[in-house]
Amino acid sequence: MRIIRMSLAIITVLFVSLLPVHGQTGGSLLDDVLNFDITVRVLYEQAQRMPVGPVETDDWYILDGHVAAVSILPTDDGSYLAEIELVTGSWDGLRRVNLHRVIIIATEAFEDRISARPVAQPGPDLIVAGIDILVAGRVTEIRRESTGRRVPLVRAERIRTRR
């Protein structure tokens, strides 16, 4: 956790220190790199209009939500790969709740921090179903689910738990 905080602090200082030298009017370097306007809901809704397959983008997103499920996936080369289902919801009137989801792809950098099994009292940095997290990452793919809906896959660069 201390390393993540330190890394996020260094990244923030780097972005802030570069802002004055960026000559664009009406925006900043941070605006060019990081999109704070995109939420899990917006990303999920945008995915419904996008083609299925790989996505080429330089956009970074900060997403927060609830971990609904964690799956550790087998790989051909034996590398570590986990999928974290990140969800949020919104009310549609008084009787219906809409579910919005993205799949967070986590690689070996997060291996020691992810558990697909329930943990009675998870440590402060452990990522398990049932907690809230904050993720910095990029959309890498749009996947079609068995329901026909599309879900964006976001490759995580940083994950912070929120307890």
Same domain, 28 and 44: no
The tens digit of pLDDT for each residue in 128-155 reads: 999 999 999 999 999 999 999 999 999 9
Q: Whole-structure pTM over 0.75, yes or no?
A: yes
The one-letter code for the residue type at 135 is V
Same domain, 103 and 25: no
Higher pLDDT, 25 or 54: 54
Same domain, 52 and 6: no
Same domain, 47 and 115: yes
What average pLDDT does the segment 68-79 reach? 92
Per the rule left: phi > 0, alpha: psi between -120 and 50, beta: everything else, 130 is left
Token output for 121 = 């009292």
Answer whether residue 79 shows pLDDT above 70.
Answer: yes
Same domain, 28 and 103: no
Same domain, 15 and 69: no
Please give the torsion angle defined by the CA atoms of residues 123, 124, 128 and 130, in that order, rounded to the nearest 10 degrees.
110
List CB contacts of 161: < 8 A, sequence separation 6 or more.
Answer: 124, 125, 126, 127, 131, 132, 133, 134
What is the domain-level CATH number for residue 131? 2.40.50.140
The domain in which residue 65 lies consists of: 36-162
The tens digit of pLDDT for each residue in 33-62 reads: 787 889 999 999 999 999 999 999 888 999
d(CA 43, CA 40): 5
pLDDT at residue 29, rounded to an integer? 66
pLDDT at residue 27, rounded to an integer? 61
